[in-house]
Amino acid sequence: MSDHARPGAGAVNEDKAAEEAQLRAVWANPTGWRYWTSVNNYQIGLWYGSAAFAFMLFAGLLALLVRAQLAVPENDLISPELYNQAFTLHGTVMMFLFAVPIFEAVAIFLLPPMLGAREMPFPRLGAFGFWSFFIGGVFVCGSIFFGAAPNSGWFMYPPLATSEQAGIGADIWLLGLSFIEVASIAAAVELIVGIMKCRAPGMRVNLMPLFAWYLLIVAGMILFAFPPLIAGDLLFEMQRMFDWPFFDPERGGDPLLWQHLFWIFGHPEVYIIFLPAIALLAMIIPTFSGRPIVGYSWIVLAAVGTGFLSFGLWVHHMFATGLPQISLAFFSAASEAVAIPTAVQIFVFIATMLAGRVIFSTPMLFAMGGIAIFIMGGLTGVMVALAPFDWQAHDTYFIVAHLHYVLIGGMLFPVFAGLYYYYPLIDGQRMSDRVGRLAFWLMFTGFNITFFPMHIAGLRGMPRRVYTYPADIGWDWLNLISTMGAVVLGIGMFAVVMDVTLHRRRQPRGEQNPWNAGTLEWLNEPEENWGVRSIPKVASRYPLWDQPTLAEDVRAGRGYLADAKEGRRETLVTSVLDAEPEQVLRVGGTSYVTIFCAATLGTVFVALTFKWWLVSLAAGIAFVGGVLYWLWTGTGEIPDRDEKDIGHGISLPLYASGVKSTGWWAMFITMTGDGTAFASLVFGYFFFWTIHTDFTGGQAGPGAFWPMAALALFALAWSVTLGAREINRQGSVLATRLLLVLGAVLAACGCAAALAGPWTSAMDPTAHVYPAIVWILVIWAAIHGAVGVLMQLYCLARSLAGRLTPRHDMELHNVALYWHFMLVTALVTFAVVGLFPEVL
Amino acid sequence: MWHLLPKEVESLWTLFTAPVVWAAHFLFCYLAAAVYCEKGFFGAGFDTLRLTIGLVTMAALAMIVLAAFLAWRQWGFGTGDPPHDDPSRRDRLLFQGYATLLLSGLSFVAVIFTALPALFLTGCLR
A7 confidence band (pLDDT: 50, 70, 90): very low
Nearest by CB to B34, from A297, A300, A690: name it.
Answer: A690
- What pLDDT score was predicted for residue A166? 79
> A435-488 pLDDT, tens per residue?
999 999 999 999 999 999 999 999 999 999 999 999 999 999 999 999 999 999
Residue A362 corresponds to which amino acid? T
Domain presence at residue A790: yes
Question: What does the alpha-carbon distance between residue A419 and residue A500 come to, in Å, rounded to a whole number?
Answer: 9
Distance CA(A579)–CA(A586), nearest Å, equals: 18
Chain A interface test: which of B64, B72, B126 (most A C-beta within 10 Å): B126
Q: How far apart are CA A676 and CA A682, in angstroms?
A: 10
Q: What is the DSSP string of A763-787?
A: --TTT-HHHHHHHHHHHHHHHHHHH
* CB-based contacts of A110, cutoff 8 Å, min separation 6: A45, A211, A422, A425, A521
Interface test with A, best of B96, B114, B122, B125 (most A CBs within 10 A): B114
> For the segment A290-334, what is each residue's pLDDT rounded down to a tens digit?
999 999 999 999 999 999 999 999 999 999 999 999 999 999 999
* pLDDT of A232 above 70: yes
pLDDT at A365 over 70: yes
Please report the sign of the dihedral spanned by the C-alpha atoms of residue B8, residue B12, residue B15, residue B17: negative
Residues 6+ apart with CB under 8 A from A75: A69, A468
Residue A294: per-residue pLDDT? 92
Calculate how close chain B gets to A190, using CA atoms only, in Å.
18
Residue B17 confidence (pLDDT) above 80: yes
Q: Which residue has the higher pLDDT, A508 or B51?
A: B51
**B7: closest CA of chain A, how far (Å):** 18
Mean pLDDT of all residues in A36-44: 93
Q: Mean per-residue pLDDT for A169-173?
A: 91
Residue in A296, A324, A340 nearest the CB of B126: A324
Is A759 domain-assigned?
Answer: yes
3 state DSSP class of A719: helix
- pLDDT for position B2: 53
Of chain A, the percentage scoring pLDDT greater than 70 comes to: 98
Q: Pick from A195, A119, A116: which is nearest to A551 by CA?
A: A116
Q: What is the mean pLDDT of residues A503-519?
A: 78
Sequence-distant (≥ 6) Cβ neighbours of residue A651 within 8 angstroms: A643, A644, A645
Instruction: Encode pLDDT of A788-816 as tens digits.
Output: 999 999 999 999 999 999 999 999 999 99
d(CA A234, CA A231) in angstroms, rounded, equals 5
Residue B14 pLDDT class (50, 70, 90 cuts)? confident
CA nearest to A575, candidates B89, B8, B17: B89
Instruction: Classify residue A650: in a domain, yes or no.
Output: no
Confidence band of B85 (pLDDT split at 50, 70, 90): confident
Contact A295 B30 (CB under 8 A): no
Provide the whole-model pTM: 0.94
In this structure, of A178-182, A517-521, B9-13, B20-24, the range with the lowest mean pLDDT score is B9-13
Q: What is the pLDDT of residue A636?
A: 87
Nearest CA in chain A to B94: A206
Assess contact for A646 and A735: CB atoms under 8 A. no
Banded pLDDT at A1 (limits 50, 70, 90): very low
Residue A613 has pLDDT above 80, yes or no: yes
Dist. CA A374–CA A417, nearest whole Å: 14
Alpha-carbon span A587 to A572, nearest angstrom:
10
DSSP A117-183: -SS-S-HHHHHHHHHHHHHHHHHHHHGGGGT-S--STTTT-TTTTTSGGGHHHHHHHHHHHHHHHHH
CB A208 within 8 A of CB A277: no
pLDDT band at A432 (very low <50, low <70, confident <90, very high): confident
Rounded to 5°, angle at Cα A103 from A98 and A107: 145
Minimal CA–CA distance to A406: which of A306, A270, A283?
A270
Q: Tell whether the model's pLDDT for residue A236 goes beyond 50.
A: yes
CB atoms inside a 10 Å sphere around CB A365: 21
pLDDT tens string A643-669: 999 999 999 999 999 888 999 999 999
**Which residues of chain A lie closer than 8 angstroms to B54, CB-CB?**
none
Report pLDDT for B76. 85
Total number of domains constituting chain A: 1
The predicted pLDDT at position A106 comes to 95
The helix/strand/coil state of A13 is helix
Whether A167 shows a pLDDT value over 90: the answer reads: no
pLDDT number for residue A8: 52
Whether the upstream peptide bond of residue A159 has omega within 30° of 0, thus cis, is: yes
| Amino acid type, A677 | A
Distance CA A552, CA A9 (A): 15
Residue A37: what pLDDT? 92
Residues 6+ apart with CB under 8 A from A480: A71, A72
pLDDT of amino acid A5: 42
By C-alpha distance, the chain A residue nearest B118 is A326
Look at residue A570 and give its three-state secondary structure: strand
What span, in angstroms and rounded, lies between the C-alpha atoms of A132 and A184? 10
Of A822, A615, A560, residue with least CA distance to A710: A822
Give the pLDDT confidence score for residue A2 in this predicted structure.
42
DSSP A508: P
What is the SS3 assignment for A271-333? HHHHHHHHHHHHHHHHHHHCCCCCCHHHHHHHHHHHHHHHHHCHHHHCHHHCCCHHHHHHHHH
- Between the CA of residue A336 and those of A384, A455, A602, B110, B121, what are the distances in Å? 10, 20, 41, 9, 18
The reply to whether A327 touches chain B by the CB within 8 Å rule is yes
Which of A308, A334, A577 comes nearest B92 by C-beta? Answer: A577
**Exposure pattern of A711-733 as b/e (b: 16+ CB <10 Å)?**
bbbbbbbbebbbbbbebbbeeee
Helix, strand, or coil here: A607?
helix
Domain for residue A781, yes or no? yes
In chain B, domain spans: 14-118
pLDDT of B7 reads: 57
Q: Does residue A690 have a pLDDT over 50?
A: yes
Q: Please check whether residue A321 touches B, CB under 8 A.
A: no
Phi-psi region of A811 (alpha: psi -120 to 50; beta: other; left: phi over 0): alpha
Tell me the pLDDT band of A580, cut-offs 50, 70 and 90.
Answer: very high
Going by C-alpha positions, the residue among A397, A398, A342 that lies closest to residue A371 is A342
Name, in order, each residue with C-beta under 8 angstroms of A708's C-beta and a sequence gap of 6 or more.
Answer: A830, A834
Q: Which of A226-230, A406-410, A694-698, B3-7 has the lowest mean pLDDT?
A: B3-7
Q: Name the minimum distance, in Å, from the CA of A496 to any CA of chain B.
A: 38
Main-chain phi, psi angles of A40, to 5 degrees: -65, 140
* Mean pLDDT value across chain A: 93
- Determine, for residues B114 and A334 on separate chains, whether the beta-carbon distance falls below 8 Å: yes
- A566 part of a folded domain: no
Q: Could you please report the per-residue DSSP string of A641-688?
A: SSEEEEETTEEEES---GGGSHHHHHHHHHHHHHHHHHHHHHHHHHHH
pLDDT at B1: 47
The answer to whether the Cα torsion of A329, A335, A338, A339 is positive or negative is negative
Residue type for A275, please?
Answer: L
Residue A742 lies in a domain: yes
Question: Is residue B19 within 8 Å of residue B109, measured between CB atoms?
Answer: no
Position A268 scores a pLDDT of 94
Q: How does pLDDT run across A760-782, given as a tens digit for each residue?
A: 999 999 999 999 999 999 999 99
Kindly report the backbone phi and psi dihedral angles of residue A622, in degrees, each rounded to the nearest multiple of 5, phi listed first. Answer: -60, -40
pLDDT at A840 over 70: no
The yes-or-no verdict on residue A508 having pLDDT over 80 is no
Residue A112, H or E segment: helix A100-115
Q: How confident is the model at residue A179 (pLDDT cuts 50, 70, 90)?
A: confident
Report the DSSP beta bridge partners of residue A547.
none
- pLDDT for A507: 62
Tell me if A703 is assigned to some domain.
yes
Q: For A586, which DSSP code?
A: E
Amino acid occupying residue A501: T
Query: What are the strands, taking DSSP E only, across A326-371?
Result: none
Between B1 and A282, the higher pLDDT residue = A282
A192 touching chain B per CB within 8 A: no
Summarize the confidence of residues A357-369 as an average pLDDT. Answer: 95
B105 → chain A, closest CA residue: A301
| Integer Cα distance of A127 and A141 in angstroms | 21
Residue A618 has, within 13 A of its CA and on its CB side, a CA count of 5
Q: Is A585 helix (H, G, I), strand (E, B) or coil?
A: strand
**Mind listing the pLDDT tens digit for each residue in A367-421?**
999 999 999 999 999 999 999 999 999 999 999 999 999 999 999 999 999 999 9
Does A576 sit within 8 Å of B12, measured CB to CB? yes
Give the CATH number for residue A747: 1.20.120.80
Query: Do residue A327 and residue B92 have CB atoms under 8 angstroms apart?
Result: no
Which of B19, B20, B121 faces A326 most closely, judged by CB atoms? B121
Tell me the chain A residues in contact with residue B75 when contact means C-beta distances shorter than 8 Å.
none
Compute how many other C-beta atoms are within 10 angstroms of the C-beta atom of residue A221: 21
Question: Is the model's pLDDT at B104 over the cut of 80?
Answer: yes
Which of A295, A300, A333 lies closest to B117 in CB terms? Answer: A333
- Say whether pLDDT at A736 is over 70: yes
Evaluate whether residue A823 is within a structural domain: yes
Cis link prior to A227 (omega < 30° from 0)?
A: no
- Alpha carbon of residue A57 to chain centroid: 21
Q: Measured between CB atoms, which of A327, A341, A577 is closest to B30?
A: A327
Q: At A10, is the pLDDT very low, low, confident or very high (cuts 50, 70, 90)?
A: low
Determine the average pLDDT of the residues in A577-588. 93
In contact, A762 and A224? CB cutoff 8 Å: no
